[in-house]
């Protein structure tokens, strides 16, 4: 089984003299092919958990399986951060294809199996971005940028996909398109963890876990 597991993860931050415990012993496992929605109020620790899982933050306590590391490739661990992280100097299409380019994939369309280029173009089309392919991120709306960031996360069919509020700036139709794509990724074997406030997403997930004050609980909040 691919996917990941976190055991007893604790993460604290120091702000001045105050110590804030963002994650207070989180245990969570997501199996390959599973689509899990992580829900909770703002400041509950969702983004911190994703940062720990992708290796940008180091846990103070607890273990991760497999060990989170920033050098894990995009096909192992892809991410849609809240800030999106699109490269401002690349067009939306080039942003989507960037993971493939950095893995020395060809970025011209071929019919070779596993070629990410057709997938990139399909995702652009599915997300309503085809006509914006040559635009820079700043020439697109925030919602369009967000969809491009999700397309970029999916382009190498990652084993683990972490997405932080990927539908936050979407209308319902586009949000559904994104959720469909994430659902399809899970069906293809990816472990998908989605931090979201979108209640529709909860219903599309295989499982919902809720977070409050750095602690996880099964099921959606009441």
Partner 1 sequence: MRLLPPWSRAPLLGLRQPAAVLAVLVTTAILACAVASAPLFLSSARSAALQQQLAPQCAEASWPEVGVGVAAPVGDRAAGLAAAPQEAWAAEGRASVPALLVGSALGAGGNRQQGVPVAGADGAALSQPATLFWRPGALEHVDVLDDGGGDGVWVPASYAQAAGVVAGGTLAVGGVPTPVAGIYTDLFDTVPDEYWCDYEDLFTNATSADTPPPALLLAGDEQTLVDLAVAARGSLQSSAQVEVDGGTLTSSRAAALGAATDRALARLPDVPPDDGGKGADPRLADAAGRAEVLESGLRGPVVPVAVAGGLLALVLVAAAGSFWADRRATEVRLLAARGVGPVPLAAKAALELGLPALAGAAIGWAASRLLVGGLGPAPELDPAATTAALWAGVAAFVVGLGAAAAVAGLRARGTAERPLGAAPRWPSRVPWELALLVAAGWCWVLLEGRDAVVSQAGVAQVNGLLVAFPLLAVAGAAVLLARVLTAALPRLRRWAGRRRPPVFLAVNRLVAARAATATLLVAIALPVAVLGYTATLTASSRATLDAKVGVQLGAGAYASTATRVDPAAVTGSDGTTVLRFGNSSLTSAGGAGTDVQTLAVDPATFAGSAFWVGSFADRPLQDLVTDLTRETATVPVVAAGLPTGPYELRLGNVPVDVDVVATADVLPGRRTADPVVLVDRSRLPQVPPSAGSDQAVERWTDGDVATAATALRDAGAVRVLDTVPADVQRTANFLGITWTFGYLSALAVFAGVIGAAGLLLYLEARSRSRVSGYVMARRLGLSRAAHLRSLLVELVGVAAAGVLVGGVLAVGAVAAVYRRLDVDLLRPPTPLLDVPVPAVALTVVAALAVAAGAALYAQRSADRADPSSVLREDA
Residues that bind partner 1 in the complex, under the rule CB under 8 A = 47, 51, 54, 56-57, 70, 73-74, 79, 81-90, 94, 98-99, 101-103, 107, 135-136, 138-141, 152
* CA geometry: angle 124, 159, 175, nearest 5 deg: 40
Q: Which residues pair with 11 in a beta bridge?
A: 23
Q: How far is the CB of 43 from partner 1 (least distance, A)?
A: 12
Beta carbons of 191 and 159 less than 8 angstroms apart: yes
Phi, psi of 8 (to 5 degrees): 55, 40
Q: How far is the CB of 123 from partner 1 (least distance, A)?
A: 16
Q: How far is the CB of 149 from partner 1 (least distance, A)?
A: 9
DSSP string, 81-95: -TT----TTS-HHHH
d(CA 100, CA 117): 8
For tokens 């020439």, name the residue: 139
Q: How far is the CB of 202 from partner 1 (least distance, A)?
A: 22
């Amino acid at each position: 089984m691919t996917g990941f597991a976190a055991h007893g993860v604790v993460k604290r931050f120091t702000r001045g003299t105050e110590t804030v415990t963002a994650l207070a012993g989180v245990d969570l496992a997501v199996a390959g092919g599973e689509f899990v929605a992580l829900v909770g109020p703002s400041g509950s620790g969702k983004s911190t958990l994703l940062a720990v899982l992708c290796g940008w933050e180091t846990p103070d306590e607890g273990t991760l399986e497999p060990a989170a590391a920033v050098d894990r490739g995009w096909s192992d661990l892809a991410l849609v951060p809240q800030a999106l992280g699109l490269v401002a100097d690349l067009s939306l299409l080039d942003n989507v294809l960037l993971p493939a380019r950095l893995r020395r994939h060809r970025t011209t369309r071929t019919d070779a199996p596993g070629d990410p280029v057709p997938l990139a173009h399909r995702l652009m089309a599915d997300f309503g971005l085809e006509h914006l392919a040559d635009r820079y991120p700043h020439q697109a709306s925030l919602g369009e940028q967000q969809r491009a960031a999700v397309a970029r996360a999916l382009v190498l069919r990652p084993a683990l996909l972490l997405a932080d509020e990927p539908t936050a700036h979407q209308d319902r139709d586009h949000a559904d398109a994104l959720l469909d794509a994430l659902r399809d990724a899970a069906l293809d074997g990816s472990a998908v963890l989605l931090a979201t406030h979108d209640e529709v997403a909860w219903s599309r997930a295989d499982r919902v876990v809720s977070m409050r004050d750095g602690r996880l609980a099964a099921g959606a909040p009441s």
